[in-house]
Structure 1
């Protein structure tokens, strides 16, 4: 197994034993997941049990939507929502103050009813989705969302076991999570600025991400600060640890920084950001501190998600500037986690 400084490729872990009765095989998978989460923070997952047709239907729905005229897609513009759902045009997203990302997207999450109590109370990340008026779009995308969330719940329990805890450790925090699914389209853009990324370097704000893509472009930062290519693998998820598991484990698990380089071909990407409930206060758990002090301040999962989101989308930046919304107290939005934070700390030392 690679160390944090020297990995040049990602391991492939078959998680099918997690769904079976062979305890020894399950233990081997759990141990492999834990080792990878500690040393790399990125891996390929196979044997996840999702029917291939779910991804095929999702891809077909995405291609149909993104092929529509811009004015039609803007009918469900994300800026028309109060809970960050809908179409994200090219240039809308600017992570960490960089060059606008060269992509368009459609963002959704758990499709709650319009009378949901948190939505009515003004929660900025919960509530109903905006759906385009394309026949079958909602059904195909919704079926994929439900399927990948089930894989995520299985992985969350395996990660708990990999930490030496009961598999139910995190279950109570996942009742109505703002776990976002993004349908992302990277059009080939030869005239994009030379310093433009498909998506800028970042870590993910949630617990972990399950990603399916159609073409190369994803790169991961290793412990040396080098960018490592992550090509797609047939019927496999790319899984990466996010900020919340880094905090909960007091840095045992690594939220590894990643980016999408300026793409050389049209590319579709479908990350599911598996999160915990909005009001979950995440801080290093006592079982991961012991005599070692906590390395992280407590953070409310939903507020962390909203703070970074609000600082990365143009429509939300405008709302903040106009005083229509306010960032949570103590909001960061900088490279606070992952390899970027480690290298920034080393540079300041």
Structure 2
């Protein structure tokens, strides 16, 4: 039986037969189905993924007419950074980089964001960031998001003023750990709302709350509340992009409109994000670097399909480094990026990426 060179979740090459690929796809989908209690992929969907990973073609794409729009996080780091987003450290400024994404790379939209991407540090230079946004609104045509991370972790000591729950929990101080999270999330919420309003005034086309719930359910609650405020008080659309496939219950008892946040999977997160008034939801599915890309992509597509099956807003799954089936590797290999992207659209029925 012929074999195909494909990849593992860490980007390394592996040779698999067609039967082995099928087994990986089925097991990956079943892993998601069992975890989140959602349907596994159907036989024709499994066949599509098997054909895709068994193909010797270097690149893969969607069927003509199934093209999807793209939103982006991380701003222009791909071009201007030497450390982030596999950046190439091009000797250009941020404004030039944004214009290149529009005119050279034909992006559908772009995010403007400071390289220190969290709201807590970036709020101090918001007037400078507003100047960048205003200038780019004059020189570009495509929609411009302003993006940042709520990043509740920066509100805890030693970076912030609130006691660190990671220090309290090992000491058994559970009530104190919960209390400090409740206090910190209020400060985070206020900063997110304030900075979002600044860019609504500047004329940003949308806002992107990125890497949401990176510190668990308290951060998710702060973001949901901020989303509700901005979506109801301004006409600026809000995209909520998650940090991981499951909301960590670091607090464990926080709720949003009667739903406990700890332990929510992407299709459950989506429902709350919709209720908060968001315009786009960006689910994340984490990779297992010890499993094959066929396994990881099938698992990710199963999670995303469960989102799109019930969503009333566009779903833009993250297909970045180490998530959405893309290998965890410094420079993402295009053979797997193209396959993961196509699977999100053709199988996951995503509206964009």
TM-score range, shorter chain: under 0.3
Greater strand proportion = 1
Q: TM-score, normalised by structure 2?
A: 0.25
Q: TM-score, normalised by structure 1?
A: 0.25
**Structure whose alpha-carbon radius of gyration is higher:** 2
